[in-house]
Structure 1
Amino acid sequence: MITRLLRQEGWQVNFKRIYRIWKREGLKVPVKKVKKRRLGDRSGAIGRRRAERPNHVWSVDFIFDRTVNGRSLKVLSLIDEFTRECIALEVNRKFTGDDLVTLLVDLFAIRGRPQFIRSDNVPEFISKRVREFLDLIDVGTSYIEPGSPWENAYVESFHSRFRDECLACEEFATLAEAEVVIESWRQKYNHRRPHSGLDGLTPAEFASQWAASIPLPPWKLPTAKFVTQSGPS
């Protein structure tokens, strides 16, 4: 990721040199591990409903932090699983089902509705208010099995980056400061941070290229406008 960011700024560098410098300076170097491929498990929630296009599946979850006075911060993360875009990082002291519905109404007006929303089974996501609202507008739910966070793997992976690159590096004096800093990081994540799962593109670049590659249906194609001029009689 650092190599790609430097190349974006015009540096002519290669990965091996950056890796050597990174390691020599004692910075964080990922440790190679053998991991189970949970995403390939067709019995899990990801396998049952894998995103095939933008706005097909959104995933939602909470992550927690604190302001310097010890009061809790609750951050709601919303991810488009296909483009990896972070649609929202909503920060507050607490959230209710009504708060989630209010946020979704605004996001649907801007981005359109997803076909499904994937989440765990916390009270805010399974509340009667949320379920009735999603049923009303024909948005399906995909709840993961209790105690199976890997079934919501995209948002869990996003939270790991969010924790390492923002929450672990910042102290928030107030809720307002947290909102500003976290929104700034979200914009950077979407528009500047290259994503290995998208061949080094940012989520915004990937979404833009995908949209440009889809042909318009016939009823949306531009039509020629003919202007007739009549001569003197």
Structure 2
Amino acid sequence: MEAMLELVGRHPRYGYRRIWVLLVRAGWRVNRKRVSRLWKAQGLRVPRKIRKKTRLGQLANGCSRYRAEGKDHVWCWDFIHDRTTSGSTLKVLSVLDEYTRECLALEVGRSMGSREVIGVLAELVEVRGAPGHIRSDNGPEFIAGAIRDWLAGAGVGTLYVEPGSPWENGYAESFHSRVRDEFLGVEEFASVTEAKVLAGQWRREYNHERPHSSLGYKTPAEYGELCPRHDSAARCRVEDTIG
């Protein structure tokens, strides 16, 4: 009996016939009918299949198909990881306006759960107003119920890109290549606090000093000043290049 139950625990999707075969192979002298009786006496049955995890992303939500049409129309966000000199993990949350290319947030922490992420968003929305949509991959932080509920309550639509298609969150991917090349790749961080300070300095430099080719070599902050919000009547224009 114990041997049968052990096999059932190891192979929960096996029926009594397969369990009987495994018992015989293990050297037990038992016939199939006895295993069937023991199976029924223990109330055993093959559990129902667990429904596979549903992914929220779809192709239509990618940046090549659903484009930002103005300031604060579409933000994108993603995480990037690094380490301190002592090997401690650093988790960096970036939030970008896809139209103006402004880096709205570059928050650093050892870990960052739903509470911290919502805190970052709440501060941005208070200062800048809510975007029409926010684009992301299917990372657990972005599809968490608390995050989705908060976004819905703030009137922000979610654009989850198709799983396995990071290029469909192309503005975030492009921005992160710059973060790695111009910031994480050249700085060493003795602590999380130092990383926070340097991330803030780099974000200000990126927004206010770094000319952007796809913005006519204006800085993101300069371009953002020229652009009214997407929900206003006036518009400004940005080239289609992701850069």
Q: Which has the larger radius of gyration?
A: 2
Q: 1:169 is paired with a residue of what secondary structure? A: coil
1:45 equivalent in alignment to 2:84: no
Q: CA deviation at 1:211?
A: 3.7
Q: Where does structure 2 lack aligned partners over 5 or more consecutive residues?
A: 1-58, 235-243
1:134 equivalent in alignment to 2:154: no
One-letter amino acid of the counterpart of residue 128, structure 1:
G
Cα separation, partners in 2 of 1:116 and 1:70, compared to 1, 3 Å: same
> TM-score scaled by structure 2?
0.69
One-letter amino acid of the counterpart of residue 157, structure 1:
S
User: Residues 105-161 of structure 1: CA distance to partner in whole angstroms, max 9, x if unpaired?
Assistant: 111000000000000111110000011111112210000111111000001101111
Task: State the distance in 1 between where 2:105 and 2:123 align.
Answer: 11
Residue 186 of structure 1, aligned match among 203, 227, 235: 203
One-letter amino acid of the counterpart of residue 177, structure 2:
S
1:95 equivalent in alignment to 2:112: yes
Q: Is the 8 A contact 2:77 2:172 kept in 1?
A: yes
One-letter amino acid of the counterpart of residue 201, structure 1:
K
Other-structure match for 1:74: 91
Other-structure match for 1:116: 133
Q: Is the 8 A contact 2:61 2:160 kept in 1?
A: no
Q: CA deviation at 1:48?
A: 3.1
One-letter amino acid of the counterpart of residue 165, structure 2:
S
Q: Where does structure 1 lack aligned partners over 5 or more consecutive residues?
A: 1-41, 218-233
- Percentage of pairs with the same residue: 51
Other-structure match for 2:29: none
1:204 equivalent in alignment to 2:221: yes
Q: CA deviation at 1:215?
A: 8.6
Q: 1:47 is paired with a residue of what secondary structure? A: coil
1:64 equivalent in alignment to 2:81: yes
Task: State the distance in 1 between where 2:232 and 2:131 align.
Answer: 20
One-letter amino acid of the counterpart of residue 61, structure 1:
D
User: Residues 1-30 of structure 1: CA distance to partner in whole angstroms, max 9, x if unpaired?
Assistant: xxxxxxxxxxxxxxxxxxxxxxxxxxxxxx
> TM-score scaled by structure 1?
0.71
Tell me the number of residue pairs that the alignment of Structure 1 and Structure 2 aligns.
175
